[in-house]
Amino acid sequence: MTTVRMSVNGKEASGDIEDRTLLVRFIRENLRLTGTHVGCDTSQCGACVIHVNGKAVKSCTILAVQANGADIVTIEGLAQDGNLHPVQAAFRENHGLQCGFCTPGMIMAAVDMIERHGAKLDEGTIRSELEGNLCRCTGYHNIVKAIKAAAHEMAGAA
Amino acid sequence: MSNQGIGASVLRKEDKRFISGRGHYTDDFSVPGMAWAAFVRSPHAHAKIVSIDTTAAASMPGVIKILTGADWAADKLGGMPCGFVPDADRQNAPPRPALVADKVRFVGDLVAMVIAATSDQAEDAAEEVIVDYEVLTANADPARASTAPLLHDEAPENLVKDWHLGDRDATDAALAGAAHVVELDIINNRKAPNAIEPRASLGIFDPVREAYTLYTTSQNPHITRLLLAAFVMGIPETKVRIVSPDVGGGFGSKIPFYPEEALVAWAARKAAVPVKWAARRTESFLSDTHGRDHVTHVKLGLDADGKFLALKVDTIANLGAYLSTFGMLSATYLYATLLSGQYVIPSISCRVKGVLTNTCPIDAERGAGRPEAAFVVERIVETAARDLGIDGIDLRRRNFIKPAQFPYQTPVALQYDIGDYEAILDDAMKAADVSGFAARKADSEKRGMMRGLGFSAYIEACGLAPSNVAGAIGAGIGLFESAEMRFDPTGSVSVYTGSHAQGQGHETTFAQIVSDKLGVALDNIEIIHGDTDRVQWGHGTYGSRSLAVGGSAIAVCCERAIEMGKKVAAHLMEASEGDIKFADGKFTVSGTDKAKTLAEVVMASFIPHNFPHSEMDPGLDQRSYYDPKNFTFPAGCHICELEVDPTTGNVDIVAWTAVDDFGNIVNPMIVDGQIHGGVVHGVGQALLEEAIYDEHGHMVTASYNDYAMPRADLMPDIKLGFTNTPCPHNPLGVKGCGEAGAIAAPAAVINALTDAIGVRSIDMPATPAKVWAALREGAPAQAAE
Segment 53-72 of chain A within 8 Å of chain B by CB: none
Please report which confidence band the pLDDT of residue B782 belongs to, taking 50, 70 and 90 as the band edges. Answer: very low
B31 lies within 8 A of chain A by CB: no
In a domain, B446, yes or no: yes
Mean pLDDT, range B483-506, rounded to an integer = 97
Q: Are residues B564 and B653 in the same domain?
A: no
Domain boundary among B602, B626, B650: B626
Of B626, B646, B668, the position where a domain reaches its end is B626
Give every CB contact of residue B620 below 8 A, 6+ residues apart in sequence.
Answer: B485, B487, B561, B564, B565, B568, B601, B602, B605
Q: pLDDT tens across B62-115, in order?
A: 999 999 999 999 999 999 999 888 887 878 889 999 999 999 999 999 999 999
Which residues of chain B lie closer than 8 angstroms to A141, CB-CB?
676, 717-718
CA dist B318 and B564 (Å) reads: 52
pTM: 0.97
Clarify whether residues B615 and B686 are in a common domain. Answer: no
In a shared domain, residues B282 and B391? no
Peptide bond into B364 cis (omega under 30): no
**pLDDT greater than 70 at residue B560:** yes
Mark whether B487 and B460 lie in a shared domain.
no
Contact B705 A42 (CB under 8 A): yes
Residue B781 pLDDT greater than 50, yes or no: no
Q: What average pLDDT does this structure show over B600-627?
A: 90
Give me the CATH topology for the region A2-77. Ubiquitin-like (UB roll) (3.10.20)
Q: How far apart are CA B361 and CA B383, in angstroms?
A: 32
* CATH code of B56's domain: 3.90.1170.50
Chain A residues within an 8 Å CB radius of B117: none
Report in angstroms the alpha-carbon separations of A22 from A19, B114, B150, B253, B781: 9, 22, 44, 28, 56
Contact B142, B295 (CB under 8 A): yes
| Boundary (domain end) residue, out of B626, B661, B692 | B626
- Residue B472 pLDDT grade (very low, low, confident, very high; cuts 50, 70, 90): confident
Is residue B397 predicted with pLDDT exceeding 80? Answer: yes
B190, part of any domain: no
Best of A136, A140, A147 to mutate (most B CBs within 10 Å, chain B): A136
Angle at B297 between CA B293 and CA B298, to 5 degrees: 120
pLDDT band for position B783 (cuts 50, 70, 90): very low
B63-68 and B275-278 beta bridge pairing: unpaired
Percent of chain B at pLDDT exceeding 70: 99
Same domain, yes or no: B529 and B606? yes
Binary contact (A133, B705; C-beta < 8 A) = no
Which amino acid type is present at position B417?
D
CATH of the domain at B679: 3.30.365.10
Same structural domain, B546 and B521: yes
Are B455 and B513 in the same domain?
Answer: no
pLDDT band at A157 (very low <50, low <70, confident <90, very high): low
Q: What is the percentage of chain B residues whose pLDDT exceeds 90?
A: 94
ipTM: 0.98
Position B778 scores a pLDDT of 63
B680/B663 same-domain check: yes
Nearest CA in chain B to A20: B120
For the ranges B178-182, B219-223, B285-289, B611-615, which has the lowest average pLDDT?
B611-615
Coil, helix or strand at residue B137: coil
A chain contacts of residue B704, beta-carbon cutoff 8 Å: 40, 42, 44-45, 134
Residues B686/B672/A104/B202 CA torsion (nearest 10 deg): -80
* Judgement on whether residues B216 and B238 belong to the same structural domain of the protein: yes
User: Which range of residues forms the domain containing residue B530?
Assistant: 2-17+480-626
The B residues from 114 to 133 touching A (CB cutoff 8 Å) are 120
Arithmetic mean of pLDDT, B171-195: 98
Mean model confidence pLDDT for chain B: 96
Number of domains chain B contains: 3
- Mean pLDDT, to the nearest integer, of B196-207? 98
The answer to the question of residue B152 being in a domain is no
Residue B779 pLDDT > 60, yes or no? no
Residue B261 domain-assigned (yes or no): yes
Residue B679 has pLDDT above 60, yes or no: yes
Q: Where are the domains of chain A?
A: 2-77, 86-157
Q: Does A99 touch chain B (CB under 8 A)?
A: yes
Which whole number is the average pLDDT over A100-109? 98
Between positions 566 and 605 of B, the ones with CB within 8 A of A are none
- Give the pLDDT confidence score for residue B784 in this predicted structure: 42
Residue B500 sits in the same domain as residue B647: no
For residues B694-712, give the mean pLDDT: 97
CATH of A86-157, one of 3.20.20.140, 3.40.50.300, 1.10.150.120, 1.20.1250.20: 1.10.150.120
Any A CB within 8 A of B8 CB: no
User: Does residue B404 share a domain with residue B487?
Assistant: no
What pLDDT is attached to residue B208?
98
Spatial separation of the C-alpha atoms in residues B464 and B470, rounded to whole Å: 9
Would you say residue B526 lies in a domain?
Answer: yes
Same-domain check for residues B725 and B652: yes
Contact B510, B540 (CB under 8 A): no
